[in-house]
Chains A and B, each alone.
Chain A
Amino acid sequence: MADTIAAHEVSYLEYEGKHKGILGWVLSTDHKRIGLLYLSAIMVFFFVAMTLGILMRLEMLTPGETIMKPQTYNSIFTLHGVIMVFLFIIPAIPAVFGNFIMPIQIGAKDVAFPRLNLFSWYLYMTGATLAIISLFTGGGAADTGWTFYVPYSVRSAQNVSFTTLAAFVLGFSTIVTGLNFIVTIHRLRAPGMTWFRMPLFAWGLYATSWIQVLATPVIGITLFLIILERLLGVGVFDPALGGDPILYQHMFWIYSHPAVYIMILPAMGVVSEILPTFARKDIFGYKQIAISSLGIALIGYLVWGHHMFVSGMSDTARIVFSLLTFLVAIPTGVKIFNWVATLYKGSIKFSAPFYYVLAFIFIFSIGGLTGLVLGALATDIHVTDTYFVVAHFHYVMFGGMGIMFFATMHFWFPKMFGKMYNEKIAVIACTIIIVGFNVLYFPMFIMGYMGMPRRYYDYLPHLQGWHILSTVGSWILVGGIVFMFGNLLYALLKGPKAAQNPWGGTTLEWRVSSPPTVENFDEIPVVTGGPYVHDKPTYIMHPSKELVHQDGDKSKKEKVTH
């Protein structure tokens, strides 16, 4: 009983349950601690993959060999892709902030399956460990690119089996998290929180989770088949035995295209949280944003073929896939317009997270529009497998999900750690990041258009100017990122105490203390209105006291009127 009382009052950071010290973290089933476990692991891998990225850019500074051999370059771009995609982009926002914030936002004490939640972190760590082992065993890390295209991935002498096994295990980890979130959102919403009173971050996670559950098994079996193919030579993807490599590409993209939306939808959810908070205004078009998330998830399933316009498909198939690709732009456009409309006549407070979101809208729009260039058949054929694709991908993934990950960190940092960071430095870092980002990736659009192929180790001398510019951009960007994390790290150690609601947010997580207590709420709140109402409270935090009180008032009033 003493524990129960303590659990109501002590913050989750200080709480000491059955296990003490480090065991209290790695054996904890508290969704907030698991969120932080993910955060620490994900940060490590982000910095590893970022370092690989800088090394690649450094290599491209001059034609021919600069700092590494071609084989090393191949392994490095593969690892950069695999780590960024599977260990950072896919899990970062759902596994860290989805775990930490979403249950509080819907008024729950934890996720539906807390132990399964911890298990998914262990799966993640297992997958990560396998990826690291693949570096040092066999022939070294895979050199196939993160797409593992056959037949090369079957024939490569490098350690492709281990790397694919790692991706396979990581897939399980996301499935388990997705399954957990779906059940949590269905079963644990606080009383009164109807579907359309749910914060949009939860909506974004809900759509994401469905894609995770329904698409990830397909990549699981596909990668598993590559391993079998390498070990036993079953033949399903081996042209020599009658297998069809194009079929592999289909199966890979049946997962990996929806996975692009796994990466971006949670980020879009956070945008919809941050904008109404800093515009001091209800979000414009709540239902449209919520449903457009599902729309993106649904159409996102049917567009995988646009990755294969040049690999051999019938013209009918290509035209259909191209049309469907254009259709995805509609729900995305709905979101962008609604976000901008939210700002209209708002009373905007320019704080650090808000700057990151503005950066996101700008950069993501460039990424989205160049996506349409790739979705159109004729232009796609011109720029297929060039730096144009690399640039587009980084504008939507890094500019979309990556920048939003930074925004999310700045938005919920005071809530998670109960500390405040220096906002001025955060804004300066944001500016440096935006400048560095564009200097790094925009030249790639131009180089791609000029014919610079992706994944090439060498290039013609006339491209060198652009390559130098891009490499300089990578230094600026990394400088900005290090500056930003330095600021947050300093705040973590020495920052002033954060208020319960530093931004004036309206969702439930701002109604609990910073950092939250172990149980989040001492009593499950009752929800009486939408998530972004600024002028009146829409939550009853202590229903057992307040509701009785209200009822008492009512009966009094009734007596008076009678």
Chain B
Amino acid sequence: MIEHSEALEHTAALEHTAPHVHRDDEGSKMGMWLFLFTELLLFGGMFLLYGAYRFEYAEGFKVAAADMNTFIGAINTILLLTSSLSVALSIAAIQQNQKKLCLSLLWFTLLCGLAFLVNKYFEWSHEIHNGIYPGGPALENMSNGEILYFGLYYVMTGLHGLHVVVGMIFIGFVMVFISRDKITSTNFQKLENAGLYWHLVDVIWIFLFPLFYLLH
């Protein structure tokens, strides 16, 4: 009987919604998590390659990693970690109906993301300037281990950078929704999903940073 009355409530709830427009925050969050799994596996393939080649060319990887600027890497890590905090805070802010605070926290997040990309740009152009890029004059004379290290470095940080950009666009859309009151203190799943995505971008960097900068 309990099952039945629950069932009735459920159908009643469904009937109040217009056709094809149903809201299911739990389902939306589940979908986002599944999407994040796919992203992790996408990078998982890259980490697999990194692991295999690091094992094969330990020496070359060591030499190449010494070329990285740990200081800029650390700054970038701090930037992303801080931006993850601000996204998390923005969700708390919208829950308490503080729209302005929420928006400024998201602006801050975007700013951190942008700063990260600017740093990355300088790092890449420094390497490229030195002739270290696939087919570049300096890289061609290096050992296989170093070639693979830089190949993976460009692909993995490049793909990660692309995710930073996508995350920023995602957050940008969410900000428009917030300012139009489509995301409110009772309906903030989109913001939470954007936050989840941003955390993913952060988590991947947390692994990229030690693998490319700190392991010597």
Is the pair B34, A547 in contact by a Cβ cutoff of 8 Å? no
Q: A180-B31, A244-B56, A547-B4 are in contact. Are A4 and B42 (CB under 8 A)?
A: no
Which of A135-143, A233-241, A322-330 lines the interface with chain B? A233-241
Smallest CB separation, B101 vs chain A (Å): 31
Closest chain B CB from A126 CB (angstroms): 18
Contact size range, B: 35 or more
Contact with A along B99-114 (1 / 0, CB 8 A): 0000000000000000
**A29-B45 in contact (CB<8A):** no
Chain B proximity of A524: nearest CB distance (Å)? 5
A191 and B13 alpha carbons, distance in the complex (Å): 12
Given contacts A110-B20, A242-B147, A242-B148, contact A217 B27 (CB under 8 A): no
Q: Is the interface of A mostly helix, strand, loop or mixed?
A: helix
Which of chain A's residues have a CB closer than 8 A to the CB of B8?
Answer: 543-544, 547
Chain A residues whose C-beta falls within 8 Å of the C-beta of B44 in the assembled complex: 217-218
**A90 interface residue per 8 A CB criterion:** no
Interface string of A455-472 (1 = CB under 8 A from B): 000000000000000000
B45 close to A251 (CB less than 8 A): yes
Would you call A43 an interface residue if the criterion is a C-beta within 8 Å of the partner chain's C-beta atoms? no
Q: Which B residues touch A114, using CB under 8 A?
A: 20
Q: How far is the CB of B193 from the nearest CB of chain A, in Å?
A: 12
Which one of A4, A218, A241, A523 contacts B144 once the chains associate, using CB atoms below 8 Å?
A: A241
Tell me what chain B mostly uses at the interface: helix, strand, loop, or mixed: helix
Contact with B along A84-121 (1 / 0, CB 8 A): 00000000000000000000000001101110100000
Binary B-proximity of A515-540 (CB < 8 A = 1, otherwise 0): 00011000110100000000000000
A175 to chain B: which residues have CB within 8 Å?
38
Q: Which of B52, B135, B147 has the most CB of A within 10 A?
A: B147
Distance in angstroms from B184 CB to nearest chain A CB is 21
Chain A residues whose C-beta falls within 8 Å of the C-beta of B30 in the assembled complex: 182-183, 186-187
Q: Is the CB of B45 within 8 A of A217?
A: yes
Are the CB atoms of A191 and B3 closer together than 8 Å? yes
- Please pick, from B11, B15, B155, the residue contacting A236 in the complex, using a CB distance under 8 A: B155
Chain A: minimal CB distance from B109 (Å): 25
User: Which residues of chain B have C-beta atoms less than 8 A from A221's C-beta?
Assistant: 42-43, 45-46
CA distance A380 to B128 in the complex (A): 48
A478 close to B (CB within 8 Å) = no
A241 B31 Cβ-Cβ under 8 A:
no
Q: How far is the CA of A518 from the CA of B20 in the complex (A)?
A: 10
A293 interface residue (CB < 8 Å to B): no
For window 257-316 of A, CB contacts with B under 8 Å fall at: none
Q: Which residues of B contact A225 (CB under 8 A)?
A: 49, 155
User: Please, which residue of chain A has its CB at the minimum distance from the CB of B140?
Assistant: A241
Residue A493 lies at the interface, judged by CB distance under 8 Å to chain B = no
Q: In the complex the two chains form, is B31's CB within 8 Å of A113's CB?
A: yes
Q: Digitize B32-45: 1 where CB-to-A-CB distance is under 8 Å, 0 elsewhere.
A: 00110111011111
* Across-interface contacts of B7 in A (CB, < 8 A): 191-192, 526, 543, 547
Q: When the two chains form their complex, are residues B41 and A192 in contact, meaning their CB atoms are under 8 A apart?
A: no
Distance between Cα atoms of A182 and B37 in the complex (Å): 13
Q: Is residue B134 within 8 Å, beta carbon to beta carbon, of the partner chain?
A: yes
Structural contact, B38 and A216, CB atoms closer than 8 A: yes
A552 within 8 Å of B (CB atoms): no
Q: Give the complex CA separation of A222 and B48 in angstroms.
A: 11
Q: Would you call A241 and B151 a contact (CB within 8 A)?
A: yes
Check if B67 is an interface residue, CB within 8 A of chain A.
no
Per-residue contact bits, chain B 43-75, to A (CB 8 Å; 1 contact, 0 not): 111101100110011001000000000000000
Q: Is A247 positioned at the interface, with any CB of B under 8 Å from its CB?
A: yes
Q: Please determine whether A109 and B49 come into contact, CB atoms closer than 8 angstroms.
A: no
A213, B45: Cβ atoms closer than 8 Å? no
- CA–CA, A213 to B6, complex, Å? 32
B19 adjacent to A7 (CB under 8 Å) = yes
The answer, yes or no, to whether B180 is at the interface (CB within 8 Å) is no
With a CB–CB cut-off of 8 A, which chain B residues contact A519? Answer: 19
Instruction: Knowing that A179-B31, A234-B155 touch, tell me 14 more A-B residue pairs with CB under 8 angstroms.
Output: A4-B18, A4-B19, A109-B20, A186-B30, A192-B7, A213-B37, A214-B37, A218-B45, A236-B148, A241-B148, A242-B53, A242-B56, A543-B11, A547-B7
